[in-house]
Amino acid sequence: MIYDDAIFELMEQADEINRMILNSESYINYKNNTLQMQRDPEVTMLQKNFLKLKDRYDEVMRFGRYHPDYMDVMLKTRRAKKAYDMHPAVAAAKQSETSLQALLDEVIVIISGSISSDIKVERGNPFFTTDHQCGGGCSCSA
């Protein structure tokens, strides 16, 4: 590949977009909420408890419904996962992650649209958005 002034200009523009994203409210919230979640001792305890139960769940699932502890392990694992996911610090981190993902999706759509309207861009979670667009392979109706 031959590097010319146009390539260097594009690289500078990409760096500027990167700086703008790193200074965005979405990224700052994501970073702060993730750090707060990681530093919360209650979240750490809930996560360790869930992972311990998940290991047991994986062991039980080898035998499926025929395992004597199947129902008990399934219920305990689901309750532990819900307790973890519903903790305010975890919920805030996941919400800010979704917000940051939406920002990144917007940037990608704008960039790809400026190149060609024929470019298909997979973005977001097709199960939670109504404006899902992708290039196929996900069996969506977009």
Q: Are 57 and 11 in contact (CB under 8 A)?
A: no
Structure tokens that stand for 1 in this block: 């590949």
Average pLDDT, the chain: 88
Structure confidence by residue, pLDDT tens digits, 80-90:
999 999 999 99
CA 30 remoteness from chain centre:
11
Structure confidence by residue, pLDDT tens digits, 27-52:
999 999 999 999 999 999 999 999 99
CA distance linking residue 99 with residue 109, whole number of Å: 15
CA distance linking residue 19 with residue 9, whole number of Å: 15
Q: Angle at the Cα of 137 (from 94 to 117), degrees rounded to 5?
A: 85
Can you give the pTM of this predicted structure?
0.74
The H or E element spanning position 103 is helix 88-115
CA distance linking residue 90 with residue 51, whole number of Å: 15
